[in-house]
Each structure stands twice: as structure tokens, then as C-alpha cells.
Amino acid sequence: MADRPAEHLKLYIPGPVEVHPDVLDAQARWMYGHRMPECADLVERVEPKLQAVFQTERPVLISASSGTGLWEGASRNCVRSRVLHCVNGAFSERWAEVSALNGKQVEVLSAEPGRAIKADAVAAALAGGSFDALAIVHNETSAGVLNPLAEIARGVRALPGGDEIVILVDAVSGVSGVDILPDAWDLDVVLTSSQKAFALPPGLSFCSVSERAVARAKTVPDRGYYFDFLTLLASLEKHQTPATPAISLLWALDVQLDRILAEGLSNRFARHMRMRDRTIEWARDRDFTLRAEPGYESPTVSCIDNTYGWDIGALNRFLRTRNMILGNGYGTLKNITWRIGHMGELDVPDIDELLGALDDYLAQDGARAGA
């Protein structure tokens, strides 16, 4: 840690995350106008790399917003009237609220935070109503649970009329850290934010759009303006964005995509699994339980029950003395759980560094009794 400048707090929160210095530096390039050829060259260069990281042949839209903007975009463009939202945590709950606020009829299929949403439950819920869309969070960051998306999507397509249902996926804390195959799994919109497993600064979000999603958008008149998928798509074909893009972040994206592809996606997924497994092993050895249903633990974030009744603020004050910080629980899980983000630039030695500090915290007088 001696080589780490004092103002650098190492982030073990589930986003924003650690960003590589080369990626941070890439943002400091001279500015161009967004209708200048230099900017079009940049968009043209990043798009195929984005498609490679998304594992899709379809276009990947680029938005100067965080992922929440693309929630609104996905609901607004792709829900004709009635959508089933799968809710098993704070983020999936909020997305359902966003759809309702955009005038869509929302039904909720819920599971306790930490429990996974199961394919048979989704199929049963869809069969019971005339839904034209399904919305699901692949990796529920608030509870550290990964929903079995491939199986769920297969179940949807097997339903009578299942081919008409547009599947909208929040993969905000997944893409590039968790394997997700938009084309092979027949997912229509897969959206993510830059500040999670992508390991970029916040401010960009991306989504793949299937032919079905585009066809649906063409039938929905009230798509709004900033997140209209059809205008975003038309601009992308000219290597542009309809409004001024976050140019500095695009430079960072260009560098980070090269880094991700140089590592290789399968290596990257395996690294996230190693960090997850190390965290789980550590937690279980110390009698902590995980909030996630066994078998559905997230590769990018672990949500750990606050077994010893810690004051998470005090825990983080301790960690700050070592230039580290982790995440409190979120939403209804605040204070009763805490979270370790293990995504992006981190690797097992980084996780060991945090877990070592947590062991020191545990060794303090009273820490096992909730000091």
C-alpha cells in the first residue's frame, strides 16, 4: 500500500470501482467536437469492441447517462403496454417503479432479496397474463444474487406466444464480469453501466438491442427523446450519438475495451469467480452467512449477513485507516448485511488484502460480539 497515494481509497464497494491509471489518463486527452471526424472515428473504433465484450452481433447503443437512464429507455421503447418485472432486491424493485412512472402497466413477480427468481415461476406468471415484455435484473447487486437467466429466457421462449415477449435485462453489475450471451440466449435488451465490472468511471451506459427490440420500438409511439432507441441507432450507424456524447469517457472506454479483450472474456469471468469463491470461503470459515441462496451467489458482489451486529460505519472507519472501503447493505438490507464488491480491476490478492484487514477487525476486543 506504500505505493498508493493517500487520496486513493481502494474501493471494495459494488460500484464505482477501481479504475486502471491508463484508463483514468485516457480521459485527459484534448477535446474534439462531436461532429468532427475524430469523434466518429472513436465511436467507429469502440463499437465492434463493445459488441465483442457484450458477446453480440447486434448493435450496442452508447448513452451518456448511468444505467438508470437505459432502464427508462428499455421500458419506454420496448414495453407496449404490460410488463412483468421480476423483483428480488432493491434495484429490480426500482426498475419496476421506473416502468410504472413511464406509464406502463406493471405486474411484479417477487422473491425475497437473496432468493433467486426461478424459470418455472417466471413462465407461470407470464402464462397468467397478456404481457408483452419481461424485465429482469441478472445480477441483483443489493443482495448479491445471480438469477438463472439462460434458463428463464428458454422458459419464456417455450411459452405459446413466447416469441413475442421482449426480454429486457439489467446486467449493470454483470457485463464483462459474468458470462451473459444476448444472442445465444435470445435476450432483447441487455443494459449495463460503465462503473461496475467494466471498471470505467461512472457516466456511460450501454445496451445491446435485438431485432425484436427494434421492431417493438417501431410500434411504440411514445418513446421519449433522449433514450429513443431508434434515433440512437440511426446515429450509431453514422458513428455518432444524437446528442453530445461524454467524449472523455469514450476515450477511457476505448482503452478499457482493449484491456478487457486482451485479458480475454473467459479469463475475466474466471477471475471474478475466483474472487467470489475466496470471499465465500473466508466468510463461511468465520461463521458468516451469505444472503444469496446457495448456488446463486453473484460472481461480482457478495452480500454478507451482519452476523456480529457490526456498526458498518465504524467498520469502514477502521478500513479507511488502511485506505480501503467496502459497501453497507442496500435498501431493506442496509446495516443487516454488508457487501464486498469484487469486480473490475481487482484480483484475489486484492481480496486477500481486504479479508486480512477484516480478520484484524475481527480480532479486536468485542468484534465478535458486535462492537
Ligand X SMILES: Cc1ncc(COP(=O)(O)O)c(C=O)c1O
Q: Which is nearer to ligand X, 66 or 248 (CB)?
A: 66
Which is nearer to ligand X, 66 or 307 (by Cβ)? 66
**Residue with C-alpha cell 435485462?**
169
Is the backbone peptide bond immediately before 16 cis, with ω within 30 degrees of 0?
Answer: yes
Q: Give least dist CB 252 to ligand X, A.
A: 16
Minimum Å gap between C-beta 172 and ligand X is: 4
Cβ 309 to ligand X shortest distance, Å: 25
User: Nearer to ligand X by C-beta: 175 or 367?
Assistant: 175
SS (H, E, C) 244-274: CCCHHHHHHHHHHHHHHHHHCHHHHHHHHHH
Residue among 162 and 327 whose Cβ is closer to ligand X: 327
Q: How far is the CB of 127 from ligand X (least distance, A)?
A: 26
For residues 39 and 198, which CB has a smaller minimum distance to ligand X in the complex?
198
Which residues sit at the interface with ligand X, rule CB under 6 A? 15, 66-68, 91, 137, 141, 170, 172-173, 193
The per-residue b/e assignment along 261-297, b for 16 or more CB within 10 angstroms, e otherwise, is eeeeeeebbebbbebbebbbebbeeeebebbbbeebb
The owner of cell 471526424 is 37
Distance from C-alpha of 132 to C-alpha of 242, rounded to nearest angstrom: 28
Least distance to ligand X, CB of residue 314, Å: 24
Question: Are 158 and 185 in contact, with CB atoms under 8 Å apart?
Answer: no
CB of 33 to ligand X, least distance (A): 27
Report whether 54 contacts 206 (CB < 8 A): yes
Cα separation, 193 vs 109, in Å, equals 24
Which residue, among 59, 33, 35, 36, has the nearest Cα to 46 in the 3D structure? 59
Residue 214 beta carbon to ligand X: minimum distance, rounded to whole angstroms = 23
**Nearest distance in Å: CB 161, ligand X:** 28
The C-alpha cell 459474468 sits at: 178
Give just the sign of the alpha carbon dihedral 35, 41, 42, 43: positive
- We find the least distance from the C-beta atom of residue 68 to ligand X, in angstroms, to be 3
Other C-beta atoms closer than 10 Å to the C-beta of 149 total 25
Tell me whether residue 142 or residue 279 sits nearer to ligand X (CB atom): 142
DSSP category for residue 362: H
Q: Based on CB atoms, which residue is closest to ligand X, 162 or 177?
A: 177
Residue with smaller CB distance to ligand X, 84 or 301 = 301
Between 15 and 162, CB nearer to ligand X: 15
Cα 110 → chain centroid:
20
In a 13 Å sphere around the CA of 103, the CA atoms on its Cβ side amount to 10
d(CA 181, CA 339): 26
